[in-house]
Amino acid sequence: MKKSNSIFFIIILLFSVSAMSFPQSKANADKTIQVITKLIEKCQNPDWMLYDILFDGMPYKEYNTPFNEKPNKNIEHSLFSKRDQYFKGEFGIDPRSDLSKKLIEPLDNEFIRMSSENPEPQDSMNAISIKQREIGVVYVYVFINKKAIEGNQFTEEKNPGAALVTKINHAFKDSCNWDSYFLAFGNWKNAMHDSKWYTFKFKHNSGTPYIDNFVVVLTGVESRVKELMKQINWDVLNKAITE
C-alpha cells in the first residue's frame, strides 16, 4: 500500500472511531449530569432551599420560588475529558421556614433597627451579615476527575460508598470560618501519597470522556453538613464511575 493511501486510511479510521464514540460520550455525560444534579437537589428539605447550581462557577440551573427550574447552560459531551471540573449547589435557609423565623428573622430585625441609626454602625451591620451567612448557608461541590486532595488530614470518619473522608479547616476562603468535608469516590486507595497530597492515579487518559473519580465537598453550617453526610445516598456516584 502506498504511503499516501496508508495515511488516508488512518485518517478515515480515526474519524470513524471519533464518530462512533460521540453518542456514547454524550450519553455518558448526560447520565452523569443527571446523577449529579439529582443528588444536589436531594440536599433540599422544608428548611433548606436550593438557590442555583453552578458549573465551574457559571450558572447552570436557577431555582426560583416556588422552585421553577430554568436551565441556563448546555454541557458539552466532552465535559469529562478535563480534570477538576465541578458542579456547585448553593443552599440557604428557606425564608418561609420556621427555622428562618427562629434564626434569621431576629438578625434581620436587628439589621433593620441599626440601619435607622445615624450614623449607621457599619461594623456591627457587617457582623450581622456574616453571622447570617455562617448559620444559613451550605455549599455542595461535586468535582469530576479531581487530580489531588490535601493528604495529611484524612480522618477515620466513615461514609457509605466513600473511599476516603476528611475534614479540612477553612479549605475554601470566605468571610465565614467554615470547615469543609471532602468525600472521595473512586480508587483513592491507590492514590500516590506524600506528606501533603493524595494524587490520584488515573486509569483513563486525559482527554477521554471517562470518569475515574468524584470528590464531594460540603462546606457551610456544620450541623447541616453532618445531616447531609448521613441522609444522602452518596453511593450513587460510585455507579457513575467508568469501569
- Return the pLDDT at 224: 94
Distance separating alpha carbons of residues 115 and 205, to the nearest angstrom: 57
DSSP string covering the chain, please? --HHHHHHHHHHHHHHHHHHHHHHHHHHHHHHHHHHHHHHHTT--SSEEEEEEEETTEEEEEEETTTEEEE--PPPGGGGGSSSEEEEEEEEE-TTSHHHHHHTHHHHHHHHHHHTSSS--HHHHHHHHHHHHHHHEEEEEEEES--EEE-TTB-S---TT-SEEEEEET-S--SS--EEEEEEEESGGG-EE-SSEEE---SS-TTSS---EEEEEEEE-HHHHHHHHHHS-TTHHHHTS--
- pTM score over 0.85: no
Mean pLDDT of 138-166: 81
212 vs 25 pLDDT, higher one: 212
Name the band, by pLDDT with cuts 50, 70 and 90, for residue 73.
low
Name the band, by pLDDT with cuts 50, 70 and 90, for residue 123.
confident
The answer to whether residues 144 and 136 touch, using CB atoms and an 8 Å cutoff, is no
- Return the pLDDT at 173: 60
Note whether residue 103 is domain-resident: yes
Note whether residue 213 is domain-resident: yes
Q: 207: which residues sit within 8 A by CB, 6+ positions away?
A: 81
Note whether residue 9 is domain-resident: no
Note whether residue 207 is domain-resident: yes
Q: 103: which residues sit within 8 A by CB, 6+ positions away?
A: 93, 135, 136
Domain membership of residue 71 as a residue range: 26-239
Name the band, by pLDDT with cuts 50, 70 and 90, for residue 69.
low
pLDDT tens digit sequence for 82-115: 888 899 999 999 999 999 999 989 988 888 888 8
- In percent, the amount of the chain with pLDDT more than 70 equals 77
Q: Which amino acid type is present at position 48?
A: W
Note whether residue 124 is domain-resident: yes
- Return the pLDDT at 40: 96
Note whether residue 205 is domain-resident: yes
Closest CA to 31 of 199, 187, 240, 180: 240
User: What is the tally of structural domains in the chain?
Assistant: 1
pLDDT tens digit sequence for 196-240: 888 999 998 887 878 999 999 999 998 999 999 989 999 899 998
Note whether residue 209 is domain-resident: yes
Note whether residue 12 is domain-resident: no
Strands 148-150 and 137-144: unpaired
Name the band, by pLDDT with cuts 50, 70 and 90, for residue 23.
low
